């Protein structure tokens, strides 16, 4: 693990809520490029090992959006949770077409391991966030590797749900804000999956939370989902939470789904309810 420790470069560090909000850069073996991630170290991390909550961001985001807009640090400090927020895709891989649209390529890795050329060499965000990044974090920070959880927004909500459903028992808690719940059935998901995974739709099923929930058999997973009722992407049939809720209810997977009147898809919505999510995670991480 020492080679991991050599490889981290600190980009920034700011005192925040008694702890430190930091950003690091490293060379990713999965993505074959330099990647940045943010890590919040609560005051407790100075003396004790702490659990880790991974935050997966949505389309167009970098590691910066969550740490500057969500207001998560006070609750993370209170509950003694390290929060890690990676970027949403490889950067600067010189792949033809990577910067052509906002919902595919750069800033839109969709947390899948691509199977198609020219994406499959770099676009391995699923393995990056579920394997490489946790190993890197556990090697370099005062974590308890047994206590990790995952949370995210929109495309990142999809990422959080599939990470938890594909790895029974690995994540102690999962929650999401306005997740893309059934990507096989919505325009965003169909575009991304066609491009990264190819035309064989059976390969898509490995990354669709609604499909994964239907075959989930693992330890009980309590899912918390917040969704803004005035979210433009809800009305545009991109998010499809009802499909996931129906399957979870059939499979008796507990879901608390809160439709929040008046809220949209933005970070103002996340900021409004992030404390509830961190509390939900703390209940399982600190149990």
Active site residue 231: yes
Active site residue 12: no
What is residue 130's DSSP assignment?
I
Strand partners, 20: 15, 41
> What does the block give as tokens for 271?
């900021």
| Selection from 172, 278, 150 nearest residue 219 by Cα | 172
| Selection from 18, 140, 37, 168 nearest residue 79 by Cα | 18
Active site residue 26: no
The total of other beta-carbon atoms located within 10 Å of residue 169's CB is 9
The total of other beta-carbon atoms located within 10 Å of residue 80's CB is 18
Q: In 3-state terms, what secondary structure has residue 72?
A: coil
Instruction: Please give, one letter per residue, the 3-state secondary structure of 230-241.
Output: CCHHHHCCCCCH
| Selection from 138, 106, 139, 141 nearest residue 31 by Cα | 106
Q: For residue 263, what are the contacts with CB-CB under 8 A and spacing of at least 6? A: 228, 229, 230, 231, 269, 272
| Angle of CA points 32, 72, 80, to nearest 5° | 90
Measured over the CA atoms of residue 64, residue 209, residue 226 and residue 104, the dihedral's sign is: positive
> Catalytic: which of 72, 130, 154, 272?
154
> Catalytic: which of 79, 265, 280, 281?
265
Ranges assigned E (strand) in the chain: 9-16, 19-28, 33-41, 50-56, 82-86, 143-153, 174-177, 223-228, 255-260
> Catalytic: which of 87, 113, 208, 231?
231
- Annotated catalytic sites, by residue? 154, 231, 265
């Amino acid at each position: 693990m020492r080679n991991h420790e050599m490889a981290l470069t600190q980009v920034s560090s700011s005192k925040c809520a008694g702890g430190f909000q930091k950003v690091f850069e490293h060379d990713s073996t999965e993505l074959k490029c330099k990647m940045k991630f943010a890590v919040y170290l609560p005051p407790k991390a100075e003396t004790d090992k702490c659990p880790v909550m991974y935050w997966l961001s949505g389309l167009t985001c970098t590691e910066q959006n969550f740490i500057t807009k969500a207001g998560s640090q006070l609750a993370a400090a209170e509950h003694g949770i390290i929060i890690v927020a990676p970027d949403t895709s490889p950067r600067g891989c010189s792949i033809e077409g990577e910067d052509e649209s906002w919902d595919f390529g750069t800033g839109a890795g969709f947390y899948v391991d691509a199977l198609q050329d020219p994406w499959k060499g770099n676009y391995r965000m699923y393995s990056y966030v579920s394997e490489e990044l946790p190993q890197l974090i556990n090697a370099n920070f005062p974590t308890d590797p047994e206590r990790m959880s995952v949370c995210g927004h929109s495309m990142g909500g999809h990422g959080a749900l599939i990470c938890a459903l594909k790895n029974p028992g690995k994540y102690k808690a999962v929650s999401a804000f306005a997740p893309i719940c059934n990507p096989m059935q919505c325009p965003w998901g169909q575009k991304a999956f066609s491009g990264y995974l190819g035309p064989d739709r059976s390969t898509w099923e490995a990354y669709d939370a609604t499909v994964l929930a239907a075959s989930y058999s693992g330890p009980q997973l309590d899912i918390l989902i917040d969704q803004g009722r005035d979210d433009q992407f809800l009305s545009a049939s991109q998010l499809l939470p009802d499909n996931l809720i129906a399957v979870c209810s059939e499979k008796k997977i507990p879901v608390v789904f809160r439709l929040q009147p008046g809220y949209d898809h933005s970070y103002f919505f996340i900021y409004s309810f992030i404390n509830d999510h961190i509390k939900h995670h703390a209940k399982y991480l600190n149990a």
